[in-house]
Amino acid sequence: MNKLTTKVLIVLLVVVSWAKAGLAGNWILYTINLFILASLLFLFVSKENIRLRLLLILPIALICLLFSLSYTNPSFTVINNSGWAKLNIDKYFTHETDIEKIIMVSEIFKDIKILSKKKPELAHAIFWDFKKRFFDKYPNHKGPMAKLILEYDKIIQLKANRLIPSSALSNKGLLIEFINKISQTLIGIILFLCINNRKIIRNIFLIISINIGVLAIVGVFQKLNYAPSDEQLEIFGIWNTPEPRYFFSSFTYKNHWSAFALMGLCTSLGLLVDSYRRYGKSFTKKTSNLLLFLSVLSIVISIPLSGSRSGTILMILSFILLSFMTLSFFSIFSLKLLCIFSFSIFMGAFVLYSFVSKINEETINEMTSNFKAQYDEISNGKLPLRMLLWKDLLEQIQSRPVYGFGFNSYKTINPIYQSLEVRNMRRIGLKAAHQKYTPLVGTAHNDWLEKISEFGLVGLLIVCPYLYFIFIQFFKTNSLLSKFGLFGAIIFLIYSFGDFPSQTPACLMLFSTLVGLALKYGYVSPKKVLA
């Protein structure tokens, strides 16, 4: 049964990566939930290693407890039809003499009323954003329109108990989103418990690496042949993207592709080095190693070609650090070799830059100009948008540091704390978007700060021991393949400081898989591994 469970989960992992990276629709998310929860149920029916299973599942259980408490203690509500009738917005309009205010307020409240039934989180976010913009323009909190806004703000607020966790809103959609996220996180734990054979783990890493390599090749082909069009569905002609400029392969966002690809790069290099350790010079005769080499090559080309600056920088740093790890493992590290290696890295980066620039000059020019623009902004004392978002978010965290505002609350709550600078910049990226209400600030571009704002310091304390364990095992393990896999997971965690890759199911599932399998590989490896 463990073998069947493993096969199903790996197939699911591959399918998710192709299905718009897990964002193809509810069908793929429900499929993930079904298989993950069924696998988890099977594991806990078995009586083997109960204590280990309980220990591994403990942080998930505690997070679920936090969510359950917050779900029953919402901070805000949604106005129903009777509530709208009681508010009676028409009476405010009849007393208003400023036509501009009437048009401005009536349009936004019309949108809010419609969205309250379908997307209440977005409805609240739009309202608080509008409230800020309205009082920016009309700072005097008097007049019928100002009274309407303040009255609506008062009605939607609930008296949540601050002694226990609370959520921004409590509805069916929030519960489903939470189940989705938990399911995507559990895959690594399930695989850790199901597999006890190193060869199986190597084969799974091989499947993951080749799959990412093929996705990279597809992405390169896309990038070189894509012509922007409102009538064209960007991803495989099946799905569109919120921002057509930024998609790559099956991913809607280039940075998330880079986070995904970097994890695949680490596993591919780990398998190649491990194969060389086991087979020596004859490792070149194995077909799998040729496929791995091609995967590495395609991934290396795809990351800068996607236009991801952070991904390109982390890729170069990963090559440097992984090379040092390999040299140290084989005990051939020397000053002469360091100089040769440093020169090789420099020349390799230069050649790669020249190659990518030649095949797609537009992408490289965009990356270069963005670097220059951000450098100029910082030089002139102006912070980039992401840093401004983090500044606002820190203020948000300070207002509820213990429990936070509840799961998935950032996009709802953050407009309350948005600074004037962010509000002036937030519509810059909306011109090419397909959706009317797609906010530029849908995420904080920092998964760490965002999750702290949602689960507070309590949530951070729950996961910190397990994150610490990952780092400890990375330094302690005698298995080079395990070390490479854990390094890929650590790169993902580092990436999360400047972006939001955990919001993409394929990325979160691969991260969880890498952690689970790399830890298990190190656990079942011999105490000493000879180079």
Residue 91 CB: number of other CB atoms within 10 A? 10
Determine the pLDDT at residue 427: 63
Is residue 495 in a domain? yes
Same domain, 109 and 18: no
Same domain, 193 and 340: yes
What is the maximum alpha-carbon separation in the chain? 86
The total number of structural domains in the chain stands at: 2
Same domain, 93 and 180: no
Same domain, 449 and 334: yes
Q: Which residues contact 353 (CB under 8 A, 6 or more apart)?
A: 304, 364
pLDDT in tens, 100-153: 999 999 999 999 998 888 889 989 999 998 999 899 889 888 889 999 999 999
3-state secondary structure of 239: strand
Determine the pLDDT at residue 429: 52
Is residue 125 in a domain? yes
Low-confidence ranges of the chain (pLDDT < 70): 1, 46-49, 227-228, 230, 332-346, 349-351, 353, 355-362, 364-365, 371, 373, 375-377, 426-440, 526-531
Which amino acid, one-letter code, is at 52? L
Q: How far apart are CA 381 and CA 383, in angstroms?
A: 6
User: What are the phi and psi torsion angles at 199 (to 5°)?
Assistant: -65, -40
Determine the pLDDT at residue 140: 82
Q: How far apart are CA 126 and CA 146, in angstroms?
A: 16
Same domain, 28 and 125: no
Determine the pLDDT at residue 146: 93
Determine the pLDDT at residue 307: 87
Is residue 210 in a domain? yes
Q: How far apart are CA 405 and CA 413, in angstroms?
A: 8
Same domain, 8 and 144: no
Is residue 411 in a domain? no
Point out the domain boundary residue: 110, 131, 155.
Answer: 155
| DSSP conformational letter for 436 | T
Point out the domain boundary residue: 103, 128, 155.
Answer: 155
Determine the pLDDT at residue 531: 37
Same domain, 11 and 93: no
Residue 57 structural domain? 2-67+171-370+445-524
Contact 303, 253 (CB under 8 A): no
Is residue 340 in a domain? yes
Point out the domain boundary residue: 129, 155, 181.
Answer: 155
Same domain, 133 and 191: no
Determine the pLDDT at residue 490: 96
Same domain, 266 and 175: yes
User: What are the phi and psi torsion angles at 76 (to 5°)?
Assistant: -135, 160
State the residue for tokens 């080095």: 273
Is residue 404 in a domain? no
Determine the pLDDT at residue 344: 67
